[in-house]
Chain A
Amino acid sequence: MNVNQSAPPVPPFGQPQPVYTGYHQSSYGGQPGSTAPPTPYGAYNGPVPGYQQTPLPGVSRAPPSSEAPPASTAQAPCGQAAYGQFGQGDVQNGPSSTVQMQRFPGSQPFGSVPLAPVVSQPTVLQPYGPPPTSAQVTAQLAGMQIGGAVAPALPPVGLGYGPPTSLASASGSFPNSGLYGSYPQGQAPPLSQAQGHLGAQPPQRSAPPQASGFTSPASGGPRMPSMTGPLLPGQGFGGPSVSQPNHVSSPPPQALPPGTQMTGPPGPPPPMHSSQQPGYQLQQNGSFGPVRGPQPNYGSPYPGAPTFGSQPGPPQPLPPKRLDPDAIPSPIQVIEDDRNNRGSEPFVTGVRGQVPPLVTTNFLVKDQGNASPRYIRCTSYNIPCTSDMAKQAQVPLAAVIKPLARLPPEEASPYVVDHGESGPLRCNRCKAYMCPFMQFVEGGRRFQCCFCSCINDVPPQYFQHLDHTGKRVDAYDRPELSLGSYEFLATVDYCKNNKFPSPPAFIFMIDVSYNAIRSGLVRLLCEELKSLLDFLPREGGAEESAIRVGFVTYNKVLHFYNVKSSLAQPQMMVVSDVADMFVPLLDGFLVNVSESRAVITSLLDQIPEMFADTRETETVFAPVIQAGMEALKTLFQPQTGAYQTLAKECVAQGCCVDLFLFPNQYVDVATLSVVPQLTGGSVYKYACFQVENDQERFLSDLRRDVQKVVGFDAVMRVRTSTGIRAVDFFGAFYMSNTTDVELAGLDGDKTVTVEFKHDDRLNEESGALLQCALLYTSCAGQRRLRIHNLALNCCTQLADLYRNCETDTLINYMAKFAYRGVLNSPVKTVRDTLITQCAQILACYRKNCASPSSAGQLILPECMKLLPVYLNCVLKSDVLQPGAEVTTDDRAYVRQLVTSMDVAETNVFFYPRLLPLTKSPIESATEPPAVRASEERLSNGDIYLLENGLNLFLWVGASVQQGVVQSLFSVSSFSQITSGLSVLPVLDNPLSKKVRGLIDGLRAQRSRYMKLIVVKQEDKLEMLFKHFLVEDKSLSGGASYVDFLCHMHKEIRQLLS
C-alpha cells in the first residue's frame, strides 16, 4: 500500500496500485515489511476489497459484472453489441485481434462495461457512473494492450475515460477500471479518487485481507504508476487486475495487441465474457447491486455481498476487508469467455501454431493438416527459437497426447490408409511416416523429410505429379497428405515376433475371498458380467467382438475356468502353488463369448454359490496378475515376484492390467498400482465397498472399462523436427529405452505427456513439427499405426510465446511433473520447485513482455492469468499437501490417476466445478453457469453441485426453501434430509428431473462414475465438501487463492529485483 501511496504520484496507475499493495501485505504478512509500502496499505485493506471486486472483473467476470451494471447499463449493451460484432468468439478471444483493432470504438464500450462493473467500488462507480463506460472501455483496451501497444490505443480513450477510470479503478477494483482509469485519465484525478477509495476500503478491510491477498501487488500498484498505465497494473491489483484488464480488453487488446502483443491476446477473450456478463447483469439490475447478482445471494457469508447490496455507502466499508476475490482472475470467467467466444465455430487445424479453444469449451474440430487438440495439446503453440529463450521463459514445452482419444460423433475417426505389402511409406533416415508436411520435389519423384531433411525416393506405386504449387495432385485424396491424424495398416513387420497378433482377450480375475463374498460384490459382479459380455468393444461395424474372454477367481489360491463351448458344464481348475504361478489350461480358457455363452452363464451363476461358504480371508495378488499374463503367453519362463519385474513382463507380453480394488484397510495401492501403471491399465478404488451404496458406481465403471475401445500391445514414439526432441514422458506406461513408450493397453482416456527440449536452434519459418506414431493392435486384432502430426510456430520474441500458451496444459504437465517428483524428493522441495518455476515464468513475462510499470503491480500474461490459481490447486492437492485424513492409499491412488489424465480431466480435477442449481430458471436446458470454488460463493438458500471428475457433491444450504427440499428430496424439511445420501429420489417434478438430469449429464462427461454425496450445510460431512472449495484456505494448510496470489507476487518481485 505504501507503495501505492507513493505511487500516487503517478496518479493514473497509482490508484489501482493501492489495491495491489493490499495484496502484498496481506499475503506475506511478514513480508509486507519488505515491501515497505505494503504496510500502509495493509491498513488499506481497501485494496482487498478492491480485489474482491476487481478480481472478478479480471479473473472471474462475475464480480465485475455486478459492478459494471451500475456503471453502464447502457454501456453494457454497447459492450454486448460490440462483442456481437466481434461476434465470433474468436474476436473475443483476441485472436481476431486484427479485426478488433479496427473496431476499437466498438470495443470501448465493452471495455467500459466491464470496467465499470468492476463493481467493487459500486460507490465509486455511482459517482462516476456515466463516465465509467468510456473509462471502462479504455480500461479494457489498456488491459489488452498490456503489452504496450495497448497503451497507445488507450491514450485517446484514456482521455475520455480519465475520470471514469478513476471510478473504474475504484469500483472495478482495479483490474479493469483501475487500469484503464489510470491510463486515460490523467491518472491524477482518478488516482486520487481511486486511491481514496482504495485507501478507504483497505482500512476497513483490515490487515487480514491483505495478508491473505498478498496480492498486494499493492506494492506493485504503486509502481504501476511508474510502469505504465496500460498495464493495468494500476488496477492492480497486480496480477488479477492485469488479467482482468486482459480479459476485459481482450477484444480490444487483440486489436491492440499487434503492438502490445504481449498481453494483448490473452486478455481479450476472457475479459470479454466476463465483462459482458457482468455487464448484463448489472444492467438488468439497474444498479450496482444488481451487478453482483450472485453476491447478494451469498449475502451474509460474504462481507462483500452485502457491500454490493448497499452499493453506494456500504460497499466501501466492506471492501476494506481485504483483497477482493472478485478482483483476481477468475477461472469461471475465463472458461465462460472462451466458451462464448470460441464455442460456436469449428476449430480448423490448417494453420500452424494456432491455440485451440480451452478444454472446457465445446467445439468442433476440422482436421486440415494438424492433429486435433483432442489428440494433442501443447503448453505453447509458439516455441522459442533458441534454448536460451526457452530457459529464460521457463515455460515448459510439453505436449499432452491422447492418441486414441474418443471423438464426438460429429467428427470422423481417423481414416485407415493401406500402403500395401511394403508397409507405410517412411523416411529412410529418421523413419518418420508420410505426412502432410513432407515436401515433394523433383516433379514428385522424391520427397524431402520434414523432420530430418533427408531426400527419399518416392516408390513407383506411390508416385504422383505435382501441381504448380508443388503439391501433389492427389494430396486431398490421401489422408496422409492432407490430414493431421490418420492410421496406417501395419504389415507383419510391425508385429511382435513377425507374427500377426491373435485376437486380444479380456481375463476377468475376481476376488472371492470372504470379504468380497460377504459384501455381495461377487454376486453383483457375476450378474453384471453376464450382460456386460455382450458389449465388449468391437471394431467399426463388426457384428461381434473379436475379443475373447477368460475367467479366474482367487482368494488364497487361484481358480481358472475352462468354459469351452463343448463342455456340458464349466471346469474349475485350482492352482494352489501361488509362489510359482502358471496357467493350468490352454484350451477353453479364452473363449468367444457367443460360442460359449451357455457355459459362461452357468459359470457366472455358480461362482457366487461355490464360494458362498468361504472362510478364506487371505488373498494373493501378484500371482493373480502373473497368471493372467501367463495365460497370454505360450511359453513359460521363470518369474520373480517383484511387481516391477512383473509389470515389465506384462508389457513385454502385451498384457494390460486393470485393477478394481475394494479395500477396507490399507492395501498398499502404491505398490499394487505399479502394475496397472506400467501396463497402461487403470486402477479403480472403492474403499469400504458396500453393495447398496457403491453398486452403481462400480458397475458403471466396470461397464465402461470393459466396453471402452482399447488398443493393445502399443508402442508410441514421438518424432520431432530438428531442433527439439522429446526428452521426458509422463503417464501410465513402460519404457525400455529412452524413446519408445510401451503400453500393454491404451484406451481413449489414457494420456501421455511428453516434454521437449531444444537441441538446436529452431527456424521461425519452418516452425517445429511433431509426429506421434502409435503402433497398436486394434480390438479386432488388427495391427495398425496411428499417426498424429502437429506443426508449431517458432518465435524469436518472448511475447509470442506468452501469447500462445495454454495454462490448462501447462498445469497438466506441472502436476504430472510434481507428482512424479514426490516419489524421489520431499514434498516440500517439489512444492517449492513448482512455485519457483511459476514465479520465474511470470517474472520473465513481467520483465520482458509487460510494459513498464510499478514493481508493486502484479502483471500476468493473459494466457496465464489463471496459472496462480490453478497452481495453488495443484499445490493443495492431496498428493502435494496431504491432510491428516488422506491415507497413503488415497494419495497413491490419486497420484496414479493424475499420471494419465488428459488436460480436461486435470482441469476439473484441480479446480472443481461448482454449479448453483436454483439460480437459473428451471426451464433452462443448459448447465447453470459455474461459480468459483469458494465458500463465499455459497448461499445458504441455495443448492449446489460440485464435481471434480472423481467426486460429486450436492450441497444443500440450511435455508433452502422448503418447496425445493420437498421437490428434490421428498422430505418436508432441511433437517429431514439424510446426510450422506447417495441417490436422489426419483420424483416427478421439474426441479428433481433437472437436477437428476444434470447429475447424469456430469457423470456422462467423466471417464469414471462419480458417486453422489449429499452434504448438508453445517453437517459434519461438510468438511469433506469444503475440501474441494479450492479457492479457500484448506484444512491441511493450503493457502487460499488470494493468499497464494500475494505470495506469488512477492516471489515475482523478488525475482525481478
Chain B
Amino acid sequence: MATYLEFIQQNEERDGVRFSWNVWPSSRLEATRMVVPLACLLTPLKERPDLPPVQYEPVLCSRTTCKAILNPLCQVDYRAKLWACNFCFQRNQFPPAYTGISEVNQPAELMPQFSTIEYVIQRGAQSPLIFLYVVDTCLEEDDLQALKESLQMSLSLLPPDALVGLITFGRMVQVHELSCEGISKSYVFRGTKDLTAKQIQDMLGLTKPAMPMQQARPGQPQEQPFVSGRFLQPIHKIDMNLTDLLGELQRDPWPVTQGKRPLRSTGVALSIAVGLLEGTFPNTGARIMLFTGGPPTQGPGMVVGDELKVPIRSWHDIEKDNARFMKKATKHYEMLANRTATNGHCIDIYACALDQTGLLEMKCCANLTGGHMVMGDSFNTSLFKQTFQRIFSKDFNGDFRMAFGATLEVKTSRELKVAGAIGPCVSLNVKGPCVSENELGVGGTSQWKICGLDPTSTLGIYFEVVNQHNAPVPQGGRGAIQFVTQYQHSSTQRRIRVTTIARNWADAQSQLRHIEAAFDQEAAAVLMARLGVFRAESEEGPDVLRWLDRQLIRLCQKFGQYNKEDPTSFRLSDSFSLYPQFMFHLRRSPFLQVFNNSPDESSYYRHHFARQDLTQSLIMIQPILYSYSFHGPPEPVLLDSSSILADRILLMDTFFQIVIYLGETIAQWRKAGYQDMAEYENFKHLLQAPLDDAQEILQARFPMPRYINTEHGGSQARFLLSKVNPSQTHNNLYAWGQETGAPILTDDVSLQVFMDHLKKLAVSSAC
C-alpha cells in the first residue's frame, strides 16, 4: 500500500470524499478522545470524466429500514444469486435482470473501482430547467445597462428548452408576462405588502381554472399545462420578446429625493418569485436569480430605511443590538428560503453595490437552497460579468455544471451514526437507525436536501462512533458508509450517484499510531473550520475562538510528544504538523473575524466557505503566496511578512482575491520603464509571469475573485498585509531596519507567538 497521502488523494479523486480520520477508532469513548471528530468532506457531484453513468436503476436492499444500494463491499453468492447487505446484513435476491450474474460477469456496481457509480433513472416525466430572473431596477443607468446586457447574453447560454421568467422590482414588483404580442404586459404588486403564496397565485391568475371553463373548451386541452406559461416560457419561443423586454427595462421611475435611498422591494419580489414557482413547478429544478444593486428598503425583508442619513447596520450595530430591521428581515428571508428548499428550487443572489446590500439577512436564501451568492461593486465589472457567465459553463459532456433538487442520504454500518452535515443543504428530517442523537451542524436526520449544486459543492458530514468500548470490533473489521445522492441532472434526467466507502477500525489504545498516521490534517482543518464557522453564525465570536483554541490544545495534548511542563520538548508528527498553522490562520480569517468586514462580507465569505471543496477551503483558510524573482522559478513562500521583499513579486490567492504585489525595487524598476527596454526583456517576463498565473486562477475560479494589482506602498497592498503572518511588526523592535521583510503595523500575534503559547499550554498539566 502506498502512503496515506496517496491513499487520501486517490480516494478523493475516485469518490470525492476526504475523511478527517482514515483509520477509525473503534469505540465511542476513544473517538471522542481523538478531539477531531470522525467526519468527511463529500463532493457529491465531483466531476468524473471516467465515470459514465449506467443506464439502469440501482438494486436496493429489501429491508425497508435499510434500502442500501448494492455495492462492491457486499458479499455476493453468485450461485444462489443472493447478496448480503453490508449495512444491515440482510440477504437479498438479485432481481430477474441479474440472472446472468457470475464471478466473471459482474455488474458494474460490484466492481471495486465503482465504489462511486451513477445511475440514470428513466422513469418519470422530465421537466425543463427553469430560470427566473428577479431584477432590481433601482440601479444607476450604466449599471442597469450592463446588467441588461448580461441578462440578454445569458439567454443565449441557456438550454433552448429551458423556461425563463422575469420579475423586476423597485418600488413596485412587476411580474412580466412573456407571451404577448404588441403590448408588454406585467402584473404589478405593491412592494410593501407581503403576500401568501395563495394570494400571489390568485393575483397572477395561476389558480386552477374553474371547471366550467374546461368544459367550455374541450377541444383545447393542450392549453392547460401552460396556464402558468404566461410567466415562464421556453427560451426558444420568446427569445426575441424577452431580449426586447430586457432592452426596454427602465430604471425605476419613482422619484428618489435627495438624501433618500431608492425604495427597493427585494423582500416582496423574492416572495413573489418563490410563490410563482411554488404554485407552478414544485419539485422541478429551478433557479431564482436575484440581481440587486442595493439593500431592501421597504416592505417585508427591508434591511434599512430609505433615509440615507441612517447607515445600514454594521457589526458594531449588531453587537449593540442596534440593527432594528435585521431580525425581522432575516426571519422573512429564512421563511422564504425554507419554502424554496421545500419546493426544490434554489435562489442565487447577485449583489453588486459599493455599500452593503443586505446579504447578511438574505444569506439563508442562498445557503439553504444551494444557490450562488455573488458580491461585487457593480454589475459593470468583469467580476460580475464573468462570474455570471460562468454559471452557465459546461462540462466535458456539454452539460451545464449545475444540478437541482438533490437529496443526499447517508447510510452507515451499525458502529457509526451520522451526526449532521454542514453545507448548502437543509434537513429533510428523516429519522432512521443511523441518525445520531448528537448533532454536529444540521443533524437529526439521515437525509438532506441540496436544491442547487454543482461539481464543486461540498458538504462536511460528521459522524459519531457509537460502538461501545466493551464490544470491540473484530480484527480487520471495516466500517462502511454509503452516500446516495439523487438529483436532477442539467440534462433534466433524474440520476442517482452512489458512493460507498469503507475504512478500517483500529483500537485507539493499541493502534494509536495507525490512527495518527491516517489523520488527514487538511480535511480535519477544513472540517473543524466548518464547525467553527457554523457555530459563529449563532455564537459570539470570542466563544468560537475559545472553543477552537481548546480543541487545538487538546489535540496537541493528545497527539503531541513532549515532556510535561517543557514547551521546548513539544513535537508533532508529520501528519499533524501543519494543523496548528491552519488553525492560526483560521483564527485570523474573515470567517471568524468580523473586524474590518461588513456583515455582508462576512456572510459572503462564510457562504463560500461552507460549500467549496477541500482545496479551495484551504486556500480560504490559509492563502497561498507565490514569490517571483530573478533568483529562480516562482516558488511558494511562507505567508509571512518576511516574504515581502523589495526585489520580489508576490502573487497571493485568498480565493476571494488575487493580489499581485510588486516589491519596492520592482515597482521602481517598472516605474522607470525598464520592462520596455529590449535589454531588460527578462524583467518584462518577470512582470508578466504572475499575471499569467493569475489569469489561470481567474479562469478556473467561481466566483471570480477580486483581482488586485498593486505594489509596495499601494493602498491595495493592505489585502496582502492583512493576510500575512505578522512576524515583524512595529512591536518587535529588533526587526526594524532589517532587510528581511516588511513590518506589519498590527497588534495581532504572530504565528511564532501563537505556537509558543500553544506549546506552553499543551505541555501544561493545568489543562
Using CB atoms and an 8 Å cutoff, list the residues of chain A in contact with chain B. 557, 560, 567-577, 580, 582, 584-588, 602-603, 606, 609-610, 615
Q: What is the total number of residues of chain B having a CB less than 8 Å from a CB of chain A?
A: 27
Chain B residues near A575: list those with CB within 8 A.
187-189
- Bound-state CA distance A586–B255 (Å) is 9
Chain A residues near B202: list those with CB within 8 A.
576
CB–CB A584/B248 < 8 A: no
CB–CB B183/A586 < 8 A: no
CB–CB B190/A577 < 8 A: yes
- Bound-state CA distance A602–B202 (Å) is 29
| A576 partner, pick from B185, B204, B254, beta carbons under 8 A | B204
Q: Could you list 9 examples of A-B contacts with CB < 8 Å?
A: A557-B203, A568-B244, A572-B185, A574-B186, A576-B205, A577-B199, A580-B193, A585-B188, A602-B183
- Bound-state CA distance A576–B195 (Å) is 12
Chain B residues near A602: list those with CB within 8 A.
182-183
B172 at the interface (CB under 8 A from A): yes
Chain B residues near A557: list those with CB within 8 A.
203
Chain B residues near A573: list those with CB within 8 A.
174, 185-188
- Bound-state CA distance A512–B359 (Å) is 43
Chain A residues near B213: list those with CB within 8 A.
615
- Bound-state CA distance A609–B193 (Å) is 32
Q: Which residue of A lies closest to B173 (CB)?
A: A584
Within 8 A of A (CB), among B726-745: none
B184 at the interface (CB under 8 A from A): yes
Within 8 A of A (CB), among B533-548: none
CB–CB A570/B190 < 8 A: no
| A571 partner, pick from B183, B193, B205, B216, beta carbons under 8 A | B183
Chain B residues near A603: list those with CB within 8 A.
183
CB–CB B182/A569 < 8 A: yes
If A557-B203, A573-B188, A577-B190 touch, whether A584 touches B183 (CB-CB below 8 Å) is no
- Bound-state CA distance A964–B204 (Å) is 61
Using CB atoms and an 8 Å cutoff, list the residues of chain B in contact with chain A. 172, 174, 180, 182-190, 193, 195, 199, 202-205, 213, 216, 244, 248, 250, 253-255
If A588-B253, A615-B213 touch, whether A571 touches B185 (CB-CB below 8 Å) is yes
Q: A560-B188, A571-B184, A580-B190 are in contact. List 4 more A-B contacts (CB 8 A).
A: A568-B248, A577-B189, A577-B203, A588-B253
- Bound-state CA distance A603–B180 (Å) is 13
| A569 partner, pick from B172, B183, B187, B188, beta carbons under 8 A | B183
Q: Which residue of A lies closest to B191 (CB)?
A: A582
Which of B188, B203, B254, B255 is most buried by chain A, counting CB atoms within 10 A of its CB? B188
CB–CB B183/A574 < 8 A: no
B interface, over-half SS = mixed
Closest 5 CB pairs of A and B: A576-B203, A584-B188, A587-B253, A574-B187, A572-B185
Distance in Å: Cβ of B182 to nearest Cβ of chain A: 5
Distance in Å: Cβ of B184 to nearest Cβ of chain A: 5
CB–CB B186/A571 < 8 A: yes
Distance in Å: Cβ of B479 to nearest Cβ of chain A: 57
If A576-B204, A577-B189, A577-B193 touch, whether A584 touches B184 (CB-CB below 8 Å) is no
CB–CB B186/A582 < 8 A: no
- Bound-state CA distance A638–B187 (Å) is 21
Q: Which residue of A lies closest to B175 (CB)?
A: A574
If A582-B190, A586-B254 touch, whether A572 touches B184 (CB-CB below 8 Å) is yes
Q: Which residue of A lies closest to B255 (CB)?
A: A586
CB–CB A576/B183 < 8 A: no
Which of B180, B199, B203 is most buried by chain A, counting CB atoms within 10 A of its CB? B203
Q: Which residue of B lies closest to A615 (CB)?
A: B213
Q: Which residue of A lies closest to B187 (CB)?
A: A574
- Bound-state CA distance A588–B253 (Å) is 9
Chain B residues near A571: list those with CB within 8 A.
183-186
Chain A residues near B188: list those with CB within 8 A.
560, 573-575, 584-585
If A557-B203, A576-B204, A615-B213 touch, whether A606 touches B186 (CB-CB below 8 Å) is no
Chain B residues near A582: list those with CB within 8 A.
172, 190
- Bound-state CA distance A623–B401 (Å) is 48
Chain A residues near B195: list those with CB within 8 A.
577
Which of A557, A577, A586 is most buried by chain B, counting CB atoms within 10 A of its CB? A577
CB–CB B182/A606 < 8 A: yes
CB–CB A610/B183 < 8 A: yes
Distance in Å: Cβ of B148 to nearest Cβ of chain A: 16
Chain A residues near B244: list those with CB within 8 A.
568
- Bound-state CA distance A500–B737 (Å) is 73
CB–CB B253/A572 < 8 A: no
Chain B residues near A615: list those with CB within 8 A.
213, 216
If A580-B193, A584-B172, A584-B174 touch, whether A606 touches B187 (CB-CB below 8 Å) is no
Distance in Å: Cβ of A628 to nearest Cβ of chain B: 16
- Bound-state CA distance A585–B185 (Å) is 13
Q: Which residue of B lies closest to A616 (CB)?
A: B205
- Bound-state CA distance A569–B233 (Å) is 20
Distance in Å: Cβ of A575 to nearest Cβ of chain B: 5
- Bound-state CA distance A577–B250 (Å) is 23
- Bound-state CA distance A602–B183 (Å) is 8
If A557-B203, A567-B248, A577-B203 touch, whether A572 touches B186 (CB-CB below 8 Å) is yes
If A567-B248, A577-B189, A577-B193 touch, whether A585 touches B184 (CB-CB below 8 Å) is no
Chain B residues near A568: list those with CB within 8 A.
244, 248
- Bound-state CA distance A573–B250 (Å) is 14
Chain B residues near A570: list those with CB within 8 A.
183-184
Chain A residues near B199: list those with CB within 8 A.
577
- Bound-state CA distance A602–B180 (Å) is 14
Distance in Å: Cβ of A631 to nearest Cβ of chain B: 13
- Bound-state CA distance A569–B247 (Å) is 13
- Bound-state CA distance A587–B172 (Å) is 13
If A557-B203, A577-B203, A615-B213 touch, whether A572 touches B183 (CB-CB below 8 Å) is yes
Which of B180, B204, B250 is most buried by chain A, counting CB atoms within 10 A of its CB? B250
Which of A576, A602, A603 is most buried by chain B, counting CB atoms within 10 A of its CB? A576
CB–CB A576/B253 < 8 A: no
| A574 partner, pick from B185, B216, B248, B250, beta carbons under 8 A | B185
Q: Which residue of A lies closest to B210 (CB)?
A: A615
Chain B residues near A572: list those with CB within 8 A.
180, 183-186
Q: Which residue of B lies closest to A570 (CB)?
A: B183
Chain B residues near A609: list those with CB within 8 A.
182
- Bound-state CA distance A588–B204 (Å) is 23
Chain A residues near B193: list those with CB within 8 A.
577, 580
Distance in Å: Cβ of B220 to nearest Cβ of chain A: 11
CB–CB B189/A585 < 8 A: no
Chain B residues near A577: list those with CB within 8 A.
189-190, 193, 195, 199, 203
Q: Which residue of A lies closest to B186 (CB)?
A: A573
If A567-B248, A577-B193, A584-B188 touch, whether A606 touches B203 (CB-CB below 8 Å) is no
Distance in Å: Cβ of B175 to nearest Cβ of chain A: 8
Chain B residues near A587: list those with CB within 8 A.
250, 253
- Bound-state CA distance A570–B186 (Å) is 11
- Bound-state CA distance A569–B186 (Å) is 13
- Bound-state CA distance A615–B185 (Å) is 18
Q: Which residue of B lies closest to A599 (CB)?
A: B183
Distance in Å: Cβ of A1 to nearest Cβ of chain B: 72
- Bound-state CA distance A729–B174 (Å) is 46
Distance in Å: Cβ of A603 to nearest Cβ of chain B: 7
CB–CB B190/A586 < 8 A: no
- Bound-state CA distance A572–B202 (Å) is 18
- Bound-state CA distance A576–B216 (Å) is 25
Q: Which residue of B lies closest to A603 (CB)?
A: B183
Distance in Å: Cβ of A600 to nearest Cβ of chain B: 12
Q: Which residue of B lies closest to A561 (CB)?
A: B183
Chain A residues near B248: list those with CB within 8 A.
567-568
Q: Which residue of B lies closest to A560 (CB)?
A: B188
Chain B residues near A610: list those with CB within 8 A.
180, 183
